[in-house]
Amino acid sequence: MEFSAIDIASVLEGRVEGDADVKVKTLSKIEEGKPGSISFLSNLKYESHLYDTNASIVIVSEGFVPKQSVKSTLIYVEDAYQAFTKLLHYADRMRNQKSGIDKNTQIHETVELGQNIYIGSFTFISEGAKIGDEVMIHPNVFIGENVSIGKGSIIYSGVKLYSNTEIGENCIIHANTVIGADGFGFAPTPEGKMEKVPQIGNVIIGNDVEIGASCTIDRATLGSTIIRSGVKLDNQIQIAHNVEIDENTVIASQTGIAGSTKIGKNCIIGGQVGIIGHLKIGNFVQIQAQSGVNNDIPDKGKVYGSPAMEASDFRKSYVYFRNFPSIVRKLEDLEKEFKQNIKS
Residues 6+ apart with CB under 8 A from 111: 125, 126, 127, 128, 129, 130, 131
Q: Are 46 and 32 in contact (CB under 8 A)?
A: no
Pairing of strands 194-196, 186-188: antiparallel
Cβ neighbours, 10 Å, residue 221: 19
Backbone angles phi, psi at 147, to 5 degrees: -75, 145
Longest CA span, the chain: 97
Q: Are 154 and 136 in contact (CB under 8 A)?
A: yes
Nearest Cα to Cα of residue 60 among 36, 37, 84: 84
Angstrom distance (rounded) from CA 42 to CA 140: 41
Q: Are 241 and 227 in contact (CB under 8 A)?
A: no
Catalytic pick from 49, 89, 138, 241? 241
Q: How far is CA 136 from the centre of its chain?
A: 19
Query: Does 241 qualify as catalytic in the annotation?
Result: yes
Cβ neighbours, 10 Å, residue 186: 11
Active site residues: 241
